[in-house]
Amino acid sequence: MSLNSSLIEQIPTSFASCSIGYDASHTLPKKLDAVHKAGFDAIELSFPDLLGFACEHLKRDVPEDDYDALCEAGKVVKDLCAERNISILMLQPFANFEGWKEGTKERDEAFARAKGWIRIMQAVGTDMLQVGSTDSDGIDTTPEKIVADLQHLASMLAAHNFRLAYENWCWSTHAPTWRAVWDIVRAIDRPNVGLCLDTFQTAGSKWADPTTASGLIEDVPRDELEARFRASLADLTREIPPERIYLLQISDAYKPALPISKAFDEERGLRPRGVWSHDFRPVPFAGGYLPVVDVAIAVLRTGFRGYFSMEVFDSGAEGKGKKYKLDEFAEGAMESHRKLLAACSDA
């Protein structure tokens, strides 16, 4: 299927607030200014950014579960975005919700957090919650349990006409691939539940491996790996209706100069692909090696023409930190977006 370049050029753009800035001086208003100047239509509002803004705005430490304070600050964030003609596409990242056993503290806390985040969504004026597939140990990974929990969350959101965008995290305990989350979304079978697809998560689960010298999955020959990945993308195009895709997050990945340890990072609580995700994700065409264009084309060939949202975590090619000017970084991300659309149009 050829892609209509004029339609592709109309794709709306978003930038995750967690993806720009590298120290405490880069406040949320400064991030919004940079994103607005670069021409983005919307932001993904990251909870840590809202929490940081609440502390700054209210001039006190605000606990993560002080939803009265967070909602008060959220109303101000809504106004700040409106002043800059920026929409709030969704609130993110809502993590480690599904799979906890009945009667556990973790389950009680997850549902209390869901109620609080729904209040925040009302305050900031967004209708979508991004939910990442749980990456905690100790959960019940049976499909029936996962689906039931997410159906419960979907009902909580539907009461407010809100949507749930479910994303595979490539280091997830139970759903690291696009197919795994798509199977779950189909089983949930609710009109307000769809997919948050991601170029990094898609390629990072089925094609790349940061723990190997090649940066690729090495348990099969290279030609077989490529064939499997092409087949997976073809399946994505064929099987997922465009209306079930709520957004496509965009990022590339650096191939680590030294393979990331296969051991669990106890200090940060991250699996190897989680470490990779947190530190080694630039915008496309900036030194990464993932087949980002191929993933984007596969998604566009479904008929999807919704938001392309930059979600990057660029700590440099060595993952040790990177300094930059906010305006220049946001402008570079927009230029990357344009290059990506051009590459897709040429397909």
Q: What is the mean pLDDT of the segment spanning 125-154?
A: 96
Checking if the pLDDT of 7 tops 90, the result is no
Contact between residue 304 and residue 194 where contact means Cβ atoms under 8 Å apart: no
1 pLDDT higher than 80:
no
Given a cut of 80, is residue 4 above it in pLDDT? no
Residue 41 has pLDDT above 60, yes or no: yes
Give this prediction's pTM.
Answer: 0.96
**Which pLDDT score, from 0 to 100, does residue 96 have?**
95
Q: Kindly report the CATH number assigned to the domain that includes residue 107.
A: 3.20.20.150
- Cα end-to-end span (Å), the chain: 9
For residues 325 and 224, give the distance between their C-alpha atoms in angstroms, rounded to a whole number. Answer: 42
Q: How far is CA 272 from the centre of its chain?
A: 18
Contact of 199 with 252, CB cutoff 8 Å: yes
Average pLDDT of the segment spanning 61-86: 98
Non-local (6+) Cβ contacts of 324 within 8 A are 22
Question: What's the CA gap between 248 and 303, in Å, rounded?
Answer: 13
Q: Does the pLDDT of residue 20 top 90, yes or no?
A: yes
Tens digits of residue pLDDT in 147-184: 999 999 999 999 999 999 999 999 999 999 999 999 99
Q: Residue 28: is its pLDDT beyond 90?
A: yes
Tokens of 259: 């393979």
pLDDT mean over 193-200: 98
Residue whose pair of structure tokens reads 């697809």 in the numeric block: 197
Residues facing 13 on adjacent strands: 308
- For the chain, how many residues are written? 347
How many separate domains does the chain show? 1
d(CA 78, CA 94): 19
For the segment 24-36, the average pLDDT, to the nearest whole number, is 97
3 state SS for the chain:
CCCCHHHHCCCCEEEEHHHCCCCCCCCHHHHHHHHHHHCCCEEEEEHHHHHHHHHHHHCCCCCCCCHHHHHHHHHHHHHHHHHCCCEEEEEEEECCCCCCCCCCHHHHHHHHHHHHHHHHHHHHCCCEEEEECCCCCCCCCCHHHHHHHHHHHHHHHHCCCCEEEEECCCCCCCCCCHHHHHHHHHHHCCCCEEEEEEHHHHHHHHCECCCCCCCECCCCCHHHHHHHHHHHHHHHHHHCCHHHEEEEEECCCCCCCCCCCCCCECCCCECHHHHHHHHEECCCCCCCCCCHHHHHHHHHCCCCCCCEEECCEECCCCCCCCCCCHHHHHHHHHHHHHHHHHHHHCC
Place 2 in a pLDDT band, splitting at 50, 70 and 90: low
The interaxial angle of helices 222-239 and 178-188, nearest 10 deg, is: 20
Residue 55, pLDDT above cutoff 80: yes
Residues 216-269 pLDDT 10s = 999 999 999 999 999 999 999 999 999 999 999 999 999 999 999 999 888 888
For the chain, what is the mean pLDDT?
96
Strand pairing class (163-167; 193-198): parallel
In angstroms, rounded to a whole number, what is the distance separating the alpha carbons of residues 252 and 313?
10
Amino acid at 188: I
C-beta separation of 283 from 313 below 8 A: no
What per-residue confidence (pLDDT) applies to 9? 74
Residue 116 structure tokens: 């609080």
pLDDT over 70 for what percent of the chain? 98
Domain that holds residue 25: 5-345
